[in-house]
A and B are shown apart, each in its own frame.
Chain A
Amino acid sequence: MKKFLAILLSVLMLATLFASCAKTPSETGDPTPGAAGGETPSGGTAKPLNIRVNVAAEPMTIDPQLNSSVDGAIYSHHIFEGLYKWEDDGEGNAILVPGQAASFDKAENADGTITYTFKMRDGIKWSDGKAVTAGDFEYSLRRLADPETAADYNYLIDGIIVGATDALSGAAAPDSIAVKAIDEKTLEITTVVETAYFTELLAFPALFPVRQDVIESAGDQWTFDPATYIGNGPYKMDEWVHNSYINLVKNENYYEYENLGPESIRFVLMDDANAMLTGFRGGELDFIEDMPVDEIPALLDSGELTVVPYIGTYYVSYNVQKAPFDNALVREAFTLAIDRDNIVDNITRTGQLPASAYVPSGIADADPSGADFRTNGGDWYSIDPADYDANCERARELLAEAGYPGGAGFPTVEYLYNTSANHEAIALALQADWERVLGVTVTINNQDWGVFLETRKDGEYQIARNGWIADFNDPISFIDMWITGGGNNDAQYKNPAFDALVAASRSETDPAKRMQILHDAEKLMQNDFMLGPIYFYTQKYMLNPEIDGIYYTPLGYFLFDHAYFK
């Protein structure tokens, strides 16, 4: 018995030892994140708000130039500020207004390039109190253009800023791009042509200023420590507990410090939809973007879930190089046979719009009437539910024309998607549509995300799930990816006429003519039916009903810097 007691005792001692090891250095004195009874906002007016938000799990990076994710962009938008920024229009929609720049002049040069001269706003400072200068922007844009930085989103300035194309390919030095700090308050940027979405690019995280001195001293570790993660935006990071939360507090050096909303914004890092909803229900989260799919209809009915537009398209990619989808008639038949209403009404169920074409609604055109690109571009086919039978009839005719009357002789084809309950439900619906309408045999197959990406990119598929979200509000964001050999050209589309139009759009200086070129390019995609649009995305969220003042850009960014208790 003594021996047993001794063993028990040593096991317990070992356990205590482990438990004490388990304490992290910063464990003492910190408020428990989202613990019951902690900072629960419950009623009361003008109460200081400490908002707790979930938009994603641990971000891959919060370096504005390296970031390529929506969640990383949301964090960057709170911690940094570009020459332009997003602001609430009073109705929850984000509009572009000057940020770190007070104003700019625009002048056309003899060679057709445009020089923008930005005057910096007075009193702009970094979170450590140093002044933000034009030189900071010059450094950051060169950093973006430097191939050594290996920034995913450096293509944003490709063909926009003079010299960027050569710098990105390494043919010229990064400091050869046409970005120049004339003095501390004046910045000159020269663009190849007049770009409709240039100010929007200036509000994109990849073009935010970063601090040369901290990056040069801390290297690629600068984002991990609040002491070196210095920003110029409304909030600053005061704590990052990896895989748990990123805590932001007001930046007292921000020029509009007095007008800021929450005392703190805590981005809780989570990846399980069930846990998010439970956390929201339990009052531990004030805002969530994701919840279990099965809960969505009930949450919509109860009014707890809000749906907003999101500029993106869910579609099927046909591999246009591989039989039988190398035949445009087959592709058109498959596209027409899709029952989009069934998919948005019974499967996705969060207000998605059946897609009548590829470029989604909500993208600006050059039309003075304000009509968007989709309205002016027209539909590829009718999405009126009353016309679905006619679409199916036409699909059968097309398939017969392609040599497969009633589906006879058509090989078994495979639809590929990445493993997920939602994508699977859509895959089953598509399979049913194609088999019922066209009399063909379709198998469905799923792959793990990493494998799927490679299979699709390499064109090792026949039909695959696909989706595209805009980076900025311009149709080129959806169109130029389909040029021959493009890195995202999963359809393996090759059309010299299309390539020529994309090239022409890049050098066209007249906005109306440029839009017409892009419409023409989309027409070519339509003629070839190189993909099959399904629906236009929406974004969903749940917000604590006691909180107001959050705003949103249709590119997927929610902003909380002016949130308040009602």
Chain B
Amino acid sequence: MIKYLLKRVLMGILALFAVSAITFFLMNLVPGGPFLSEKAPSAAVLAKLEEKYGLDKPLYVQYGNWLKDLAHGDFGVSFKMQKNRPVTTIIKEMFPVSLKVGIYAMIWAIIFGIVFGCIAAYHRGGIIDSVLRVVTTLGVVLPTFVTASILLVLFAGGVWKILPSIVGAHAKWYAYILPCFTLGLSPMCNIARYTRSSMLDALGQDYIRTAYAKGVSNRKVIFKHALRNALIPVVSYIGPMTAYILTGGFVTETVFNIPGLGRYFVQSISNRDYPIIMGTTVFLAAFVIVMTLAVDILYKFIDPRIDLAKEDE
């Protein structure tokens, strides 16, 4: 187990290094630069800016400097989006906002997804199952911006004016309802669908028949005996879902004006704000790596048959 963990951590670091190198050289390959605008600064100003931010040096030197600073926990300062503000400060400020929305979205997606999945399996073939199937299919295929727009029209000024459309920092709890619902909808529906099918799978197993034979109630069979085994595929979905929720929050964060990192991650690219591109990419990559590892470990606890140490041989 320890050996496995060590190996995974080392591989994670290697992956991060590769991600940073690829991102660095790719972003510099893309034409355009942080200091260009409709009104171009004079050549003298441009030269000063490049000198100030170290862009006058060869690329490999720039990358070396970036790595050196990173070793000191320094991601550099923003060139453009928040000129001269340290990138670490920006991440520290914005990531918790993304995380907060993401966690709330995940909690409701997991709870409702599992419950709906069980209910659908329990009523397999019935009206409730059909209704849930239509709803979850819709939830999966609806793009985030469509969901967000419908919710906004319904609850934030169109039909009823009961919830704010601008979430912003320091928003009250109810301001998070719409964005969290939006962000969690598609994962919730996916979880419901996975739960239903793996639940049906589990219900066909011998030990379930045994349980029924012993006279255990239908409800108890589903929620006590079948659910545990049915959850394994769901847990494996949670890993990529975390990544989706935290980096795929771009649309939700833009529509609801949430000052989160997902939005910045995308905007930094069109702004050519190199330190923010590097900082957010490496940070989010590290986060995804850690979450995937966490899920793999969680897996082992849920299903003792999985042997992590063996898997990696």
A148 to B175, CA, bound (A): 45
> Known: A33-B166, A61-B84, A268-B166. Contact between A24 and B40, CB under 8 A?
no
List chain B residues, Cβ under 8 A from A168: 42, 44
- Kindly list chain B residues whose C-beta atoms are within 8 Å of the C-beta of A169: 44
Q: Are B36 and A35 in contact (CB under 8 A)?
A: no
Q: Are B83 and A66 in contact (CB under 8 A)?
A: yes
- CB of B211 to closest CB in A, whole Å: 13
Q: Which of B144-193 contact A (CB under 8 A)?
A: 149, 152, 156-158, 161-166, 168-172, 175
User: Given the complex, which residues of B lie within 8 Å of A471, measured CB to CB?
Assistant: 39
Residue of B nearest to A281 (CB): B157
Q: Mark A54-70, 1 if CB is under 8 A from B, else 0.
A: 00001011010010100
- In chain B, positions 73-92 with a C-beta closer than 8 Å to chain A are 80-85, 90
A496 to B307, CA, bound (A): 79
Verify if B254 is at the interface (C-beta below 8 Å from A): yes
A279 touches B45 (CB 8 A): no
B124 in the interface (beta carbon within 8 A): no
Contact B45 A151 (CB under 8 A): yes
Residues of A close to B107: CB separation below 8 A: 15
**By the criterion CB–CB under 8 Å, are A448 and B270 in contact?**
yes
Question: Which residues on the A side are within 8 Å of B104 (C-beta)?
Answer: 19
Give complex CA distance A272, B32 in Å. Answer: 23
CB distance from B95 to the nearest CB of A (A): 9
- C-alpha gap A165/B264 in the complex (Å): 38
Of all chain B residues, the one with the shortest Cβ separation from A23 is: B96
Q: Are A18 and B100 in contact (CB under 8 A)?
A: yes
- In Å, the complex CA distance between A164 and B266 comes to 40
Closest to A278 in B: B165
Bin chain A's interface residue count. Answer: 35 or more
Query: In the complex the two chains form, what is the Cα distance from A34 to B45 in whole Å?
Result: 39
Decide: A33 near B93, CB < 8 A? Known: A148-B48, A284-B165: no
Min Cβ gap B258→A in Å is 9
Q: Which residues of A contact B103 (CB under 8 A)?
A: 15, 18-19, 22
Q: Judge if A445 is at the interface, Cβ distance under 8 Å.
A: no
Q: Give the distance in Å from the alpha carbon of A3 to the alpha carbon of B227 in the complex.
A: 13
Q: Does B205 contact A (CB under 8 A)?
A: no
Q: Could you give, for residues 371-384 of chain A, a 1 whenever the CB lies within 8 Å of some chain B CB and a 0 otherwise?
A: 00000000000000
Could you say which of B97, B99, B224 contacts A1, with CB atoms under 8 Å apart?
Answer: B224
Which chain A residues numbered 1 to 41 have a C-beta less than 8 Å away from chain B? 1, 3-4, 7, 15, 18-19, 21-24, 26-27, 30, 32-36
B243 on the A face (CB < 8 A): no
B259 in contact (CB, < 8 A): yes
A457–B37 alpha-carbon span in the complex (Å):
10
Q: Which of chain B's residues have a CB closer than 8 A to the CB of A147?
A: 44-45, 48
Chain A nearest CB, measured from B113 CB (Å): 14
Q: Which residues of chain A are within 8 angstroms of B175 by Cβ–Cβ distance?
A: 32, 35
Q: How far is the CA of A34 from the CA of B40 in the complex (A)?
A: 36
A135 in contact (CB, < 8 A)? no
Chain B residues with CB below 8 A from A27, complex form:
169-170
Flag B27-47 by CB within 8 Å of A: 1 or 0 each.
000111100111111111100
Which chain A positions have C-beta within 8 A of B37? Answer: 68, 152, 453
State A168–B85 Cα separation when bound (angstroms). Answer: 26
Alpha-carbon gap, A148 to B272, bound state (A): 22
B165 touches A22 (CB 8 A): no
Within 8 A of A (CB), among B279-313: 298, 301-302
Evaluate contact between A450 and B161: CB separation under 8 angstroms: no
A538–B166 CA distance with the chains assembled, in angstroms: 27
Complex CA–CA separation, A60 to B254 (angstroms): 18
With A7-B302, A24-B170, A451-B32 as given contacts, are A241 and B84 in contact (CB-CB < 8 Å)? Answer: no
Select A34's contact among B44, B49, B100, B166, beta carbons within 8 Å. B166
Instruction: Give the contact stretch, choosing among A242-250, A352-360, A393-401.
Output: A242-250
Please give, as numbers and ranges, the residues of chain A lying within 8 Å of B115 by CB-CB distance: none
When distances are taken between beta carbons in the complex, the residues of chain A under 8 Å from B84 are 61, 220-221
B228 contacts A by Cβ under 8 Å: yes
Q: How far is the CB of A228 from chain B (nearest CB, A)?
A: 13
Tell whether, in the assembled complex, residue B100 and residue A448 are in contact, meaning their CB atoms are under 8 Å apart. no
Given A22-B100, A450-B32: A241 and B83 interface contact (C-beta under 8 Å): no
Contact with A along B269-282 (1 / 0, CB 8 A): 01110000000000
Q: Which residues of B contact A467 (CB under 8 A)?
A: 38
Q: How far is the CB of B159 from chain A (nearest CB, A)?
A: 11
Contacts A24-B170, A270-B257 given; indicate if A242 touches B90 (C-beta within 8 A).
yes
What residues of A have a CB within 8 angstroms of the CB of B96 in the complex?
A: 21-24
- Apart from A19-B104, A61-B83, 10 more pairs, CB < 8 Å: A32-B175, A36-B164, A154-B42, A241-B259, A242-B169, A243-B264, A244-B170, A244-B259, A450-B30, A453-B36
Q: Please list 17 pairs of residues, one from A and one from B, whose beta carbons are closer than 8 Å in the complex, sorted by A's number.
A: A3-B302, A24-B170, A32-B168, A33-B171, A35-B172, A155-B42, A269-B257, A270-B166, A270-B257, A274-B149, A275-B254, A275-B257, A281-B157, A450-B31, A453-B36, A453-B40, A488-B39
Measured CB to CB, the residues of B under 8 A from A are 30-33, 36-45, 48-49, 52, 80-85, 90, 93-94, 96-97, 99-100, 103-104, 106-107, 149, 152, 156-158, 161-166, 168-172, 175, 224, 228, 231, 254-257, 259, 263-264, 267, 270-272, 298, 301-302
Residues of chain A at the chain B interface (Cβ within 8 Å):
1, 3-4, 7, 15, 18-19, 21-24, 26-27, 30, 32-36, 58, 60-61, 63, 66, 68, 147-148, 150-152, 154-155, 168-170, 220-221, 224, 241-245, 268-272, 274-275, 278-279, 281-285, 448-455, 457, 467-469, 471, 487-488
The 9 closest A-B pairs by CB, nearest first: A450-B32, A282-B157, A243-B259, A22-B100, A150-B48, A244-B169, A281-B157, A22-B96, A220-B84
